[in-house]
Amino acid sequence: MNLILIFIFLFIIFILFILEYYCKSYYIVKKNFLDKSFIEKINKTILNDKEWLYTTNIGNDKIKHNKDIKSRRKNSLKLLKSDKFSYSKYEYKNEAPILKEITEYLNSSEVLKQISELTNKKITKTTDIFISKFEPGDFLSVHNDINLGRYAFIIYLNETWDRSCGGDLNLITKENIHIPIYPEYNKLVLMDIKSRELPHYINTVKCNNRYAITGWFM
């Protein structure tokens, strides 16, 4: 009886290992990515500031301003229900000094070398970096990041996050398996979007505000 239990236990461990390996083949994770002092500076800046613009879309065109928020949110939800690409979120102003600092940090030789080592690819620069805030009710529907870079990335900024609040990033495999990735403080997630199509989405946030830095490495 004890041998059977041991076998079952080892089999479960083996299956979990295979599943973890399978999932990680779709993305790369680096914990404690940003310098402690820098991520603290970022959070202090964006949490105490009002430099946020409500952001939706018309097709692939991004619309960023704080007018007609109620009607635009309603339209985004309508698009979501009809399975069309849509999103509802806030983005920090592009001209904000902290965003320039983040861009310079991520394009430093040290960081680009680190990303190159993580991916085993020659990474030379970033493109289109932005800071996002998802309030309750905000979401990002299924899409592919086509021709935007070699690796899409996200850096989570919330010091704590309750998984029941939603806001998880989900990757969809070719077998239609949805792999959830939950927000975790100062965690970098890299997704290879050049080698294969990798549809992904962000589940609707149910509580609290979800903060992250997003962009692409070339």
186-207 tens-digit pLDDT: 999 999 998 778 999 999 999 9
Q: Is residue 5 included in any domain, yes or no?
A: no
Per-residue pLDDT at 20 exceeds 80: no
Q: Is residue 98 included in any domain, yes or no?
A: yes
User: What is the enclosing helix (H) or strand (E) of 210?
Assistant: strand 210-217
pLDDT in tens, 34-80: 999 999 999 999 987 788 999 999 888 999 999 999 999 999 999 99
At residue 22, the pLDDT reads 53
Q: Is residue 48 included in any domain, yes or no?
A: yes
**Cα–Cα distance for residue pair 92/55, rounded to 1 Å:** 10
Helices (H), 107-152: 109-119
Question: Chain centroid to CA 113: how far?
Answer: 21
* pTM more than 0.75: yes
State the pLDDT confidence band at 14, using cuts at 50, 70 and 90. low
Per-residue pLDDT at 158 exceeds 60: yes
Q: Is residue 49 included in any domain, yes or no?
A: yes
Q: Is residue 79 included in any domain, yes or no?
A: yes
- If one counts the domains in the chain, the total is 1
At residue 96, the pLDDT reads 93
CB 118 within 8 A of CB 170: no
CB 94 within 8 A of CB 100: no
What integer best gives the mean pLDDT of the chain?
91
φ, ψ of residue 140 to 5 degrees: the values are -140, 120
